[in-house]
Amino acid sequence: MIAHRQARCQLTIDSMRKTAARVYPGGITMVPGVGVFSLRNGMTAVLVAAIGALVGCGSDPPPPELVPQEAAAAITQLWSQEQMNHFKVTFHSDDLVECGVKNDLWKLVEVTDRNGNAWTTTYRLTEKGSRIVTAINLKESGRGHEILLKGPYRIEVSGITDGSQPGTKNVAFRWDIDWDKASSDLKACIPRFELSGNEVALFRLENNLNWRFVSYLNPEEIQAPPQDGAPAIPVAGSPLLH
């Protein structure tokens, strides 16, 4: 592509139209019918035009802008393919364990050693529960339950900023369980206000043509873009929550 551009934009003196010139006493060269000042002005105009053409041909078009609608569509597309759609929520509830057992989402099982001796118990997802959430870590005390969700989600992009590296963007967004599409068993056991969170997605520009959703960022990875050669500075108060 570069070679084609150079060939298309190449302009040399040899390619210009040649006109016979006369040499006068004193070594002064003149083109018939053209004055000294006219010739000088003409050559200046040709050189300025040539430089402008070469500069224009050598520059790349600006990259496409990443807009909220495009970012949200890229994220939800991966969610629909069961990719990057696992979000963890942690909350307190005295009724969660009993509700999940009653609705056949999880059950209490014994944990055994290699010899088959039971040494503790834990709650594990049933087949039905595995279709609704990804994983659980439930506490008998009712404090600090952990559930790894899998959707369905709604998304709202709250901001797009330059990433810490050239050709990257940080997309901050809020996700919520889509209450209208969520399982009735999930809605029966987990409070709606617990089924939401905030994340920051990393997008990377590919071939100067399109933006691709790459990964989520941890708080320590979210940095302000460097300015005037200064090192990148972590952003305080990141919206990333787990």
**What confidence tens digit (pLDDT) does each residue in 59-113 have?**
677 889 999 999 999 999 999 999 999 999 999 999 999 999 999 999 999 988 8
Domain boundary among 111, 127, 148: 148
Model's pTM, two decimal places? 0.66
Q: Are residues 10 and 130 in the same domain?
A: no
Q: Which residue has the tokens 């942690």?
A: 90
Q: Which domain holds residue 138?
A: 93-148
Strand partners, 215: 202
pLDDT band at residue 117 using 50, 70 and 90 as cut-offs: confident
Q: What does the pLDDT read at residue 191?
A: 87
> Among the listed ranges 5-9, 105-109, 175-179, which one has the minimum average pLDDT value?
5-9
Those residues with Cβ within 8 angstroms of residue 6's Cβ, 6 or more apart along the chain or in another chain: 57
Q: pLDDT above 90 covers what percent of the chain? A: 56
Q: How many domains does the chain have?
A: 3
Q: Are residues 8 and 73 in the same domain?
A: no
Q: Are residues 163 and 207 in the same domain?
A: yes
In angstroms, the CA 35 to CA 51 distance is 24
Q: Are residues 43 and 129 in the same domain?
A: no
Q: Are residues 166 and 137 in the same domain?
A: no
Q: What are the contacts of 180-186 at 24+ separation with CB within 8 A? A: 181/152, 182/152, 183/132, 185/103, 185/104, 185/105, 185/128, 185/132, 186/105, 186/132, 186/133
